[in-house]
Structure 1
Amino acid sequence: MKEPKEISSVQNPLVKKILLLKEKSRERIKTGLFIVEGQRELELTQKGGYQIQTILICPEISPTPNNIAFAQYGNPEIIQISKAVYEKIAHRGTTEGILAIAKSKTHSLEKIQFKNQTPLILVAEAPEKPGNIGALLRTADAAAIDAVLIANPKSDLYNPNIIRSSVGCVFTNQIGVGTTEDIIQFLKSNQVQIFGAALTASKNYVDCNFEGATAIVVGTEATGLSEAWLKSSDQNLIIPMQGEIDSMNVSVSAAILIFEAKRQRGL
């Protein structure tokens, strides 16, 4: 392994580039690159089939490059950085002194593939908060569902807050992105039954049959699902509330519905 490059100045052009990738969605979309932090997240990026271009290591925090097997990451460029640089570019301080620049994927609906005839799919319409998106992706990974589809997204998937809150599950899920209309058409063309989480004209979720090809659709906590989803749903469903409020956090609701579907399938 050749001697790695070193960066000690926070004014280095690569440092400025990394900051732009962290802070600007437009820059991530334009370059097709994003930043990933931490050993676990880096490993999940690799397992998800992402191309890792550069790995940055802070020797004061992380083991030296010679003690880490980088071959599994496709022989990326290795750069040692000072602690000052690491603290400048790290999104959080508990990422073991390791960051990387990786190439993003396209998430077109055409690339979604199902392994069987009865896929279980989560659809999130217009999710706004990165923390909620991350939590939905963690739930999807925990249940090992077939795909997560995001309709009319408000943020790109490689927002550092989504990566952090998903604990890297943005890399482990099969994700498709499109408009509400495109996703409805995709589901119908694949003979997937649509269950919309809604307050009106709804059936108790425990009385719904999720054993066939199923899409569970959740909306925002503020406005719920749009009229397009309510009209296209084969069955609206509800989680009965027993307290004073009429809804829960979207990720909690999604988890309840997804694991009920898993229970029905004996999984």
Structure 2
Amino acid sequence: MLITSPHNPRIKQVIALRDRKDRERSGLMRVEGYEELSLALDSGVRPHTLFFCPALWRTPEQAQLLLRMRALGTETLEVSPRVFEKLAYRDHPDGWVATVPLIETRLAALRLGATPLLLIAESVEKPGNLGAMLRTADAAGVDAVIAADPLTDWGNPNIVRASKGALFSVPVAAATSAEVLTWLAERAIPVIATTPQASLRYTDANLRGPVAIAVGEEKHGLSRRWLDAAAQQVRIPMVGRVNSLNVATAAALLIYEALRQRGVS
């Protein structure tokens, strides 16, 4: 079946998934891009429906992904280039968009090891920052990234795009700050709070044991609730005129300091 009209109801349904209310109502989210979908499949995701346009594929070998999805029972619908341009969320699309079930985001669903390394993002607003954190978390083997008092949902297509698909390889959760702090306390996981006002350098903090590294929203940083709950407050040395780093960069520095202390090479 080849869909040639951008007004096709199936196309409208996928476009509607750009809106959070439609994602929550349908229980589905959209994933765009060959690399993102490949990682999703490698992470155990079973797509619901695939919309593909061979005319936009970058290499003939990408056809193998279509076969993988069909083997999983995914419904596959070919669309014309004109329709795909309407369907696509980003510039220069590569001919791949799929709908997949919303990912699990309950704290109770997280499974932790003996020495968990967690990243807490309190009220981080920009999907690009959340996506960058997920890429770092995937590279560093972080146990989970938790959105506290989230301002967007994990199914936001901009997070999927910015994470390059790492959203599906890193466990995530979302809850209120009160719920996250209670959950951490019950598991005796101390919070390391990042703030420019701290006296302790982040390299001097003990990050070898179970730890939850907390970073705050882009403009004001962590709230008083998180600062007061922290076992330690740490700062990243700054010698320039700007008094703070991008939140995703700050998170990456602390995560890799934790790996250094733990002897991970």
What TM-score range do you get, normalising by the shorter chain?
over 0.9
Q: By how many angstroms is 1:65 displaced?
A: 9.4
Answering whether residue 52 of structure 2 is matched by residue 57 of structure 1, we say yes
Task: Please state if 1:92 is matched with 2:90.
Answer: yes
1:260 to 250, 253, 257: 257
Partner of 1:104: 102
Pair 1:137-2:104 in alignment: no
1:19 aligns with 2:15: yes
Question: Which of 166, 177, 198 is the equivalent residue of 1:180?
Answer: 177
- 1:170 partner amino acid: L
After superposition, where does 1:190-209 map in structure 2 within 5 Å? 190-209=187-206
Distance 1:196 1:252, change over 3 A: same
Q: Secondary structure of the residue that 1:52 maps to in structure 2? A: coil
Report whether the alignment pairs 1:42 with 2:40: no
TM-score in terms of structure 2 length: 0.94
3-state SS in 2 of match to 1:69: helix
Q: Deviations over 1:169-209 (max 9, x none)?
A: 11111111110011111111111111000133441111111
Q: State which drifts further: 63-72 or 28-37.
A: 63-72
Q: Write the deviation string for residues 7-49 of structure 1: whole angstroms up to 9, x where unpaired.
A: 1101100111111112x11101111111111111111112222
Deviates most, 61-70 or 170-179: 61-70
Any conservation in 1 of the 2:29–2:99 contact (CA below 8 Å)? yes
3-state SS of paired residue (1:70): helix
SS at match of 1:78: strand
Match of 1:211 among 183, 200, 208: 208
Letter in 1 for 2:34: Q
The change in CA–CA distance for 1:259 and 1:64 in structure 2 (over 3 A counts) is closer
- Give distance in 1, aligned partners of 2:150 and 2:43: 21
Correspondence for 2:3: 7
Q: Secondary structure at the match of 1:157?
A: coil
- Paired residues of 1:148 and 1:176 also in contact (CA < 8 A): yes
SS class of match (2:48): strand
Q: Give the Cα–Cα distance (whole angstroms) in 2 for the partners of residues 118 and 65 of structure 1.
A: 39
CA contact (8 A) 2:215 2:221 kept: yes
Residue 189 of structure 1 is aligned with which of 176, 186, 190?
Answer: 186
Give the letter aligned to residue 240 of structure 1: P
CA distance in 2, matches of 1:159, 1:234: 32
Per the alignment, residue 79 of structure 1 pairs with 77
The answer for the alignment partner of 2:217 in structure 1 is 220
Q: Which residue of 1 aligns with 2:143?
A: 146
Cα deviation per residue 1:133-167 (whole Å; 9 max; x = unaligned)? 11111111111111111101111111111111111
CA distance in 1, matches of 2:91, 2:197: 45
Cα distance, 1:86 vs structure 2: 0.4
Question: Aligned Cα RMSD in Å?
Answer: 1.7
User: Aligned in 2, Cα 1:262/1:102: closer, same or farther, shift over 3 Å?
Assistant: same
TM-score of the superposition, structure 1-length normalised?
0.93
Q: Distance in 2 between matches of 1:73 and 1:239?
A: 49
AA in 1 matched with 2:148: A
Contact 1:35 1:101 in 2 (8 A): yes
Segment of structure 1 superposing worse, 121-130 or 96-105: 96-105
* Identity, % of aligned positions: 38
Unaligned runs of 5+ in 1: none
Does the Cα contact within 8 Å between 1:127 and 1:219 map onto a contact in 2?
yes
Match of 1:18, as an amino acid? Answer: V
Count, aligned residues:
261
Distance verdict in 2 for CA 1:224–1:157, change over 3 Å: same
